[in-house]
Amino acid sequence: MSYKEAMTELEGILAEISSNQVDIDQLSEKVSRAAELIKMCKTKLKTAENQIQNLLENEN
């Protein structure tokens, strides 16, 4: 899953939760899925940050 796809799904989950469209039985599932997506996005961002840092260090 790409970062963009994960963010789109996260935005959808947030919209559902914010508009009270999720019943209490589904809320736990949605929150768990959101946590997974956030973790994945953080990992992708950290990887990109490390790659950029390595490129900058190797230029010097």
Q: What is the mean pLDDT of the chain?
A: 93
- Report pTM: 0.80
Query: How many structural domains compose the chain?
Result: 1
User: What does the pLDDT read at residue 59?
Assistant: 80
Alpha carbons 42 and 39: distance in angstroms, whole number: 5
Alpha carbons 44 and 37: distance in angstroms, whole number: 11
Cβ atoms of 27 and 10 closer than 8 Å: no
State the pLDDT confidence band at 60, using cuts at 50, 70 and 90: low
State the pLDDT confidence band at 35, using cuts at 50, 70 and 90: very high
| CA 26 remoteness from chain centre | 19
Range of the domain at 7: 3-59
